[in-house]
Amino acid sequence: MVKKLNYLLPTHQSPDGHGGTVWSSLSASGGRSTESRIGRGHLTLRRASQKRFVLAAVIFVLLAAAAFFVALALLKSAPKDLRVTVLDVGQGDAIFVEFPSGSRWLIDGGPDEGVVSQIDRLIAISDRRLTGVILTHPHADHVTGLIHILRRYKVEKALLPSATHTTSEYLTFLKELRAQNIQTTPVNHPFVWSGSEGQTSWRWEFFYPERDFTEPVQDLNAVSVVSRLTFGEQSFLFMGDAPVEVEKLLMAEGRNLRAAVLKVGHHGSASSTSDDFLGVVRPQYAVISAGAGNPFGHPAPATLKRLQAFGAHTYRTDKHGWIQFKTDGKTLTISSAR
């Protein structure tokens, strides 16, 4: 032990007298011969040196740990790629979209406050800021988590379809938006956002709804916000709970629905994701957000069969947990919780 330490013990103060140490380069045998000549006083001095060494080592380890956590926080808050994460929120939808420059959007919030811990896993705990939330439609399995998000994060904007609904969850969400004075935009006509991130250009096209719904709506799924995000060469199609009728309308309008990743409509229910639609979208990957053992039988075996027939690799939150896509605009990588 002593032999080893001899290499590292500071032997004397630096010439400038400011406490800097010069590290010994004594050989092991040199150290032994020095030891044989020294008396008690020297040994006390040596113990003091050892203490200084231990202290220096502890400080070094603490600083290294601090640097590691700062680097980790920076990495967490500044991804290099676009990241689209289908969160594991049980029976509902919540999709977190993070741009490399730092803007963050949450499409739906799932059925409860579970979404908060899912997002906390992805971003630095000190950075509780979202660019915006998009509510696809007012059903509780999409809106409830957003109430918790508005209360826990600083949210700048909100997009939602213009349709009336009177459940307490939806009304609480609207009240929270008003109370916080969050800029709220109805999706009632097709529009496009676009921009670039470094060399990569992106477009976020909002196809649907195309109008305000002033009359009571029979099937609220049919007011779902449908959008397509293109980042470089990769595209994502977010369907909300849109049924086949909406798919048909978008196809009849000749919208460009091609997407490498399809967030499957309505938790994989049989009333969405028709053969015709899949023929147009031609997804490489399909993602279904559904709770394990949910009472609706989502996803429907018929939908899974259709996706399989089209060769789409299908990921499901009830089986895989959260599912994350990352792209630099060219390649696409997928990871999941399990």
Q: Which residues bind Zn ion (CB under 5 A)?
A: 141, 241
Dihedral (CA of 120, 124, 130, 136) sign: negative
* 119/149 Cα distance (integer angstroms): 9
Query: Are 223 and 209 contacting, i.e. CB atoms less than 8 angstroms apart?
Result: yes
Mapped onto helix, strand or coil, the DSSP state of residue 247 is: helix
Rank residues 205 and 241 by Cβ distance to Zn ion and give the closer one: 241
CB of 140 to Zn ion, least distance (A): 9
Beta bridge partners of 186: 160
CB of 233 to Zn ion, least distance (A): 30
CA 229-203-124 angle, to 5 degrees, is: 65
CB of 330 to Zn ion, least distance (A): 33
Provide the b/e sequence for 164-180 (b: ≥16 CB within 10 Å): ebeeebbeebbebbeee
Q: Are strands 154-161 and 183-187 parallel, antiparallel or unpaired?
A: parallel
CB of 154 to Zn ion, least distance (A): 26
CB of 137 to Zn ion, least distance (A): 8
CB of 149 to Zn ion, least distance (A): 17
Rank residues 232 and 243 by Cβ distance to Zn ion and give the closer one: 243
Rank residues 259 and 290 by Cβ distance to Zn ion and give the closer one: 290
Rank residues 81 and 141 by Cβ distance to Zn ion and give the closer one: 141
Mapped onto helix, strand or coil, the DSSP state of residue 316 is: strand
Rank residues 81 and 241 by Cβ distance to Zn ion and give the closer one: 241
Rank residues 166 and 181 by Cβ distance to Zn ion and give the closer one: 166
CB of 289 to Zn ion, least distance (A): 8
Which of 323, 316, 327 shows the shortest CA–CA distance to 337? 323
Q: Rg of the chain's alpha carbons, rounded to an integer? A: 29
Rank residues 110 and 329 by Cβ distance to Zn ion and give the closer one: 110
Query: Are 239 and 271 contacting, i.e. CB atoms less than 8 angstroms apart?
Result: no
Which of 165, 277, 280 shows the shortest CA–CA distance to 221? 165
